[in-house]
Amino acid sequence: MYEQLIRYIEEYAQARLTPAEVALIKSNFKPMSLKKRAYFLQAGAVSKYAGFITKGAMRQYCVDDKGDEKIVHFYIENHWATDRESFASGKPSLYTIEAWEDTDLLLITREQIQALIKQVPALATMTQVMDERHAIATHKRLGSLIVGSAKMRYQEFMTNYPHFAQRFPQHQIASFLGITKETLSRVRRQHP
């Protein structure tokens, strides 16, 4: 479980961790298991933990005024699950994060990660790279939602996240893309 996290940090940081750094990381991350449909975070609660997923799948969503779920993120192995805004600000989250499959995570608090960043340079580098990639992905997704056609959004999704298509149902993928299930079915038939 921890080996997966260590490889992830080393890959993002492009640096090897020392045995002392590995021990420090292991002592700060706590394992957690969630059954399918269990909540990692519920709307209205503060996101106190970031969870590194070692096995399983999760989804982050909000509910609109009509009661419809709107998917914001999908998470699978080697992804970090948290509501970034709530985690950083300590304010209640607008989102729910739910295990879509039985899921194993390694949890860390904001205070722990901030202290570790000062002690483990590779963790600081990893965090910076993750933040940059997250900002770019968010910017691309926003642009796609504003000006992209359903076909373009689906093609980008399949190019960038083909593994999600195997793990999440079509109605959730449609929600993530900001289109209806029917539109997704039509686009998939036209462009398999």
Instruction: State pTM to two decimals.
Output: 0.90
Q: How many domains does the chain have?
A: 1
Instruction: Convert the pLDDT of each residue in 89-101 to its tens digit.
Output: 999 999 999 999 9
For residue 141, being part of any structural domain is answered with yes
For residue 66, being part of any structural domain is answered with yes
7 SS3 class: helix
For residue 86, being part of any structural domain is answered with yes
For residue 159, being part of any structural domain is answered with no
pLDDT attached to residue 7:
96
For residue 184, being part of any structural domain is answered with no
For residue 169, being part of any structural domain is answered with no
pLDDT tops 70 at residue 192: no
pLDDT tops 70 at residue 191: no
State the Cα–Cα distance between residues 71 and 162, nearest whole angstrom: 17
Which residues have a Cβ under 8 Å from the Cβ of 145 and sit 6 or more positions away?
A: 153, 178
For residue 164, being part of any structural domain is answered with no
Question: Beta-carbon neighbour count of residue 67 at 10 Å?
Answer: 6
86: domain range?
A: 2-147
Token pair recorded at residue 187 = 């686009």
Q: Are 98 and 69 in contact (CB under 8 A)?
A: no
Residue 132, domain CATH:
2.60.120.10
Instruction: Convert the pLDDT of each residue in 113-164 to its tens digit.
Output: 999 999 999 999 999 988 888 888 888 888 888 787 889 899 889 998 999 9
For residue 119, being part of any structural domain is answered with yes
